[in-house]
Structure formats: C-alpha cells, structure tokens
Amino acid sequence: MYSLSGKRVWVAGHRGMVGSAIVRRLAVEGCEVLTASRQDADLRNQAETTAWMDKTRPDAVFLAAAKVGGILANDTYPADFLYDNLMIEANIINGAHRVGVEKLMFLGSSCIYPKFAPQPITEDALLTGTLEPTNEWYAIAKIAGIKLCDAFRKQHDSDYISGMPTNLYGPGDNFDLNSSHVMPALIRKAHEAKLAGAASITIWGTGTPRREFLHVDDCADACVHLMKTHSAPGHVNIGSGEDVTILELTQMVCDVVGYKGEIEHDLSKPDGTPRKLMSADKLRGMGWTPQVELRDGISAVYRWFLDNKA
Ligand code: GFB
C-alpha cells in the first residue's frame, strides 16, 4: 500500500479533462496537490520542467499531461502528437528520478495496442502487431512512456507504474468539432441540430467501429486506486469492459439530448481502428470496478455542456 496522506502530489496536466478529474478525486486523500501552470513550466521543455520539479519536490506524480485529440487531430498533426508527448513524458519521468519522487503513475491510451489485436485486448497484446495508422504517432509516444517507466524500475528500482485508459468522456472535455473525440462531438452536433430544427446530423465514417467508453471520474478513481495499491512493471488497462458501435452511441446521445432527426455519414472521414475493447480483468482482479453507467454519464456531461458551453 502507498498512502497519499500528507504527501505532496503533483498532478501534471491538471487543466485537462483527466488531470482535473484526478485533482477532484484527490480531495479526500489528505494530500497536498501541486499543479504547474503553463507560465510555471512548459512541460515540453526539459530545463523548465526540471527547474519546476527541483523547486517543488513532489513525493508522488500523476503524469496526465499530454497532447490529446480525436481521430482527425491525431491524423493531421502527427509531429505534434509524437514530439510533444515524447518530450513531456521524458522530462517528467527523468525529473521524477532526479528529485527522488517516491511513486509515479504514467497515463497512456488504448491506442497503444495493435489495430487487429484479439478482443477483449489483454495487456500482453502490446507490441504484437501493427498499429492503427491514424494514431500511431500518439501510440508510439505512449508505448515509449510505458517502457521508460519500466526502464527506470529495472535500472533504478523506481516505483513507476502505467495505466492505459480507454476512450474517456466527462466534464471539461474539448467540444471543438475538428479536434475533439467522438463523444463531445456528438453531444454538440445533436444539441445544435435540435436548436436549429435540422433534419439530420452527420457523423464521421461508417458508424460501425466499436469503442469502449469510461467516465473520467471513474478513470480518476481507478488511477488513485492503482497509485495506492499497485506496484509492478508493465501497464494496467483502465476501462469499463463494454463497448458500443459509434452508431449506437450516436443514437444514445441523440436520445439523451432529445434530438429526433436522421443520422447521416461523412465517408470522407476515417473510421480508425475497427474495435478496441480492452480486457478489464486485471484491474477488476485488483478490486476496482467502474460506477458510472454510459447513459447516466452522457446525461451528466450534457448537463455540464448546457451549463458551460452551450
Ligand atoms: O473518438 P475518436 O475521435 O477517436 O473517434 P478514436 C472514434 C470513432 O468515432 C471513429 C467516429 O470511428 C470516428 O470516425 N466519429 C463519428 C467521430 N463522428 C465523429 C465526430 O464527429 N468526431 C469524431 N472525433 N469522431 C482516438 C485516437 O481514436 O482515441 C487517440 O486518435 C486516442 O490517439 C483516443 O487513443 C482515445 O477512438 O478513433
């Protein structure tokens, strides 16, 4: 067991959807939460990151800082997704070693797995096949992060662990239609179509790809659980264990939003990987289960969207 009580805990990426959920979750752990603004340190910059870590000396780190985006953003900005994420994780993991961080958790993504991995995907499927081209840049960076944690563990006995969340959604998500993930895009499209009285909304691709969704508050809870209870090389899947097709998700979102029009398809946009349902067995075996049902989570996010973005 690793107790967070009384510890100085840095949530790197606290302004993002995952980082902010971890900050909310840590409120009951009795720790001091440290955050670095962009003015404090550009985490892609080694000198600035090292200086900030030297000054603040965290005991524990949740590495949730990353350049993230949906399928189109990943496909359009490969250099940013590879370079920024490599730099951020290398600077923070190496900095953690330098200042003697007791425990670090690195966060990745389910896109680390081969495009055609057997489903549900177990952790040992890593590096057994070719990646999905739309997000291989981001995936390579995240695989490097897992391996960097493992390398520090092997060489220096560092207690660094990795969690691989599935597709996440929740409050604070990015609702920009060009750069967002599918969930916020669908919520916005259905809402705006309802207001405009539009006859249809258009989704990207065929609607047949299957995706697994997890509410970000469940993800944050899983991260804290792993931080406190888990210490081993490799990585742990963080998912709900259930998936839906994009068309089923669209119908659910339209239902929650109250939009009754048609669903059309923009087939010039990519489908991406056909399916990436992760096995939830390892994490469930450690005594953790998700709490938020998909439909309830969508309703909560739609309320957040109405209050904050609409
Ligand atoms: O969420 P998403 O952008 O990312 O797209 P990935 C999931 C699926 O939803 C794809 C479809 O099949 C999209 O074609 N889709 C339908 C839409 N309509 C829309 C829309 O309006 N917007 C978006 N964005 N998608 C990302 C990776 O993959 O998942 C990242 O690129 C990361 O690296 C992240 O792993 C979790 O699930 O395909």
Tell me the per-residue pLDDT of 69-103, one tens digit each, with 9 for 90 and over: 999 999 999 999 999 999 999 999 999 999 999 99
Mutate to test the pocket of ligand 1, among 17, 68, 71 (most ligand atoms within 8 A of CB): 71
For ligand 1, atom 22: residue with the closest CA: 182
Distance CA 62, CA 57 (A): 14
Parallel, antiparallel or unpaired: strands 103-107 and 160-165: parallel
CA-based torsion, 206, 137, 218, 41: positive or negative: negative
* Site residues for ligand 1, CB cut-off 6 Å: 70-71, 74, 109, 111, 134-135, 138, 167, 180-182, 185, 203-205, 209, 211, 246, 269-272
What's the mean pLDDT in 224-253?
Answer: 98
- How confident is the model at residue 239, as a pLDDT? 98
For ligand 1, atom 6: residue with the closest CA: 71
Identify the band that residue 24 occupies on the pLDDT scale cut at 50, 70 and 90: very high
- How confident is the model at residue 78, as a pLDDT? 98
Atom in ligand 1 nearest the alpha carbon of residue 139 = 33
Q: Which of 2, 77, 83, 138 is catalytic?
A: 138
What's the mean pLDDT in 226-253?
Answer: 98
Q: Which two tokens stand for residue 206?
A: 């065929």
Identify the band that residue 310 occupies on the pLDDT scale cut at 50, 70 and 90: confident
Decide: helix, strand or coil at residue 79. helix
Residue 193, pLDDT > 90, answer: yes
Determine the distance separating the centroid of ligand 1 and the alpha carbon of 111, expressed in angstroms. Answer: 11
pTM of the model: 0.98
- How confident is the model at residue 200, as a pLDDT? 98
- How confident is the model at residue 52, as a pLDDT? 98
Q: Which two tokens stand for residue 61?
A: 């780190």
Calculate the average pLDDT of the chain. 98
- How confident is the model at residue 275, as a pLDDT? 97
Decide: helix, strand or coil at residue 81. helix
- How confident is the model at residue 225, as a pLDDT? 98
Distance CA 13, CA 22 (A): 10
Q: How far apart are the first and last CA of the chain?
A: 43
Distance CA 122, CA 280 (A): 8
For ligand 1, atom 20: residue with the closest CA: 182
For ligand 1, atom 10: residue with the closest CA: 271
Tokens 């895009």 map to which residue? 185
Tokens 């965290």 map to which residue? 58
- How confident is the model at residue 92, as a pLDDT? 99
Determine the distance separating the centroid of ligand 1 and the alpha carbon of 270, expressed in angstroms. Answer: 9
Please write the tens of the pLDDT for every residue from 113-164.
999 999 999 999 999 999 999 999 999 999 999 999 999 999 999 999 999 9
What's the mean pLDDT in 43-47?
Answer: 98
138 is known as an active-site residue: yes
Determine the distance separating the centroid of ligand 1 and the alpha carbon of 70, expressed in angstroms. Answer: 5
Question: Dihedral of the CA atoms 221, 225, 231, 235 (nearest 10)?
Answer: -30
What's the mean pLDDT in 18-43?
Answer: 98
Residue 54, pLDDT > 90, answer: yes
Query: Measuring CA to CA, which residue among 39, 41, 45, 38 is closest to residue 55?
Result: 41
Determine the distance separating the centroid of ligand 1 and the alpha carbon of 266, expressed in angstroms. Answer: 13
Residue 188, pLDDT > 90, answer: yes
